[in-house]
């Protein structure tokens, strides 16, 4: 009887640490799960804040553009009114000058012989004709100056369009043949540097957004290529440097080359990250 009682006590003592360890394991797992969910929530909250800030900046830029557009319209209307007023002033000034000249010629021709009166009338007519011709020449000079300025502006816009077209052509040519350069053999480099191509979980800029396979020519919203998703050192992944106005960005496991002014996708590498 005594031996049986001792065996029972020893078995109970040996089973107590196992039971306590088994009870502590779920608690530890719950703590780890809570930490992971808390980190994910913080990352998602940060992504939403950045998306809101990007949308706020976009609205501010749009409001500024609208204000500049309205200011241009107002300045154009003011210039038009000023031109009309100046034209009316010049016309009134010419009429006033002619009236004063006629009055002076009439007073000077009083009490003189008719031959001198006819001579004074001829001189007055010649003077008025010269005033009108001068006014017509000045108007033609202003018209030619405006036409020259308009043509200069057209040439400047044409040159800018041609420069943009050449830049797009260079960009398309660069996009076609950069993969043939052995310096940018990112596939072989990825096999020997797997840790670099494992940046961690991707958090979309919008809540509820799921992966979509983007292709060249798609236009993205500004939050997708914000600073949070940009690849600031392309050479670290053996990618070519982005041209001015473009930027490499991460999208889930893909890499996109995006025009930061329009949001157009210029190049895509699928399954770039592990």
Residue 248 has a pLDDT of 95
CB within 8 Å of 252: residues ≥ 6 apart: 202, 211
203 phi and psi angles, rounded to 5 deg: -110, 120
DSSP string, 186-210: HHHHHHH-TTTT-------SSTT--
Residue 44 has a pLDDT of 78
Mean pLDDT by 10 residues, the chain (274 residues): 56 50 56 64 79 81 86 85 76 76 72 71 82 85 88 86 71 66 90 90 90 91 93 92 89 93 90 90
Please give the Cα distance from 99 to 243 (Å, whole number). Answer: 69
Which among 144, 129, 142, 120 has a CA at the least distance from the CA of 94? 129
Residue 153 has a pLDDT of 87
| CB contact at 8 A, 189 and 239 | no
pTM of the model: 0.41
């Amino acid at each position: 009887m005594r031996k049986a009682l001792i065996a029972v006590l020893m078995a109970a003592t040996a089973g107590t640490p196992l039971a306590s360890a088994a009870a502590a394991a779920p608690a530890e797992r719950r703590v780890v799960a809570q930490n992971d969910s808390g980190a994910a929530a913080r990352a998602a909250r940060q992504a939403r804040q950045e998306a809101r800030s990007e949308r706020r900046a976009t609205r501010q830029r749009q409001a500024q553009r609208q204000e500049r557009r309205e200011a241009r319209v107002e300045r154009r209307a003011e210039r038009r009114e000023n031109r009309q007023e100046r034209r009316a002033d010049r016309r009134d000034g010419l009429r006033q000058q002619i009236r004063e000249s006629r009055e002076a010629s009439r007073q000077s021709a009083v009490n003189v012989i008719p031959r001198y009166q006819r001579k004074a009338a001829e001189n007055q007519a010649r003077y008025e004709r010269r005033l009108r011709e001068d006014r017509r020449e000045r108007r033609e000079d202003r018209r030619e100056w405006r036409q020259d300025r308009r043509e200069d502006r057209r040439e400047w816009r044409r040159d800018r369009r041609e420069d943009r077209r050449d830049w797009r052509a260079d960009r398309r040519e660069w996009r076609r043949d950069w993969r043939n350069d052995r310096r940018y053999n990112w596939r072989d480099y990825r096999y020997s540097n797997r840790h670099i191509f494992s940046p961690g979980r991707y958090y979309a800029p919008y809540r509820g957004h799921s992966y979509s396979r983007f292709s060249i020519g798609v236009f993205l919203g500004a939050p997708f290529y914000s600073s949070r998703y940009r690849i600031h050192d392309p050479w670290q992944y053996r990618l070519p440097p982005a041209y001015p106005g473009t930027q490499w960005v991460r999208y889930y496991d893909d890499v996109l080359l995006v025009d930061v002014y329009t949001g157009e996708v210029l190049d895509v590498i699928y399954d770039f990250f592990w």
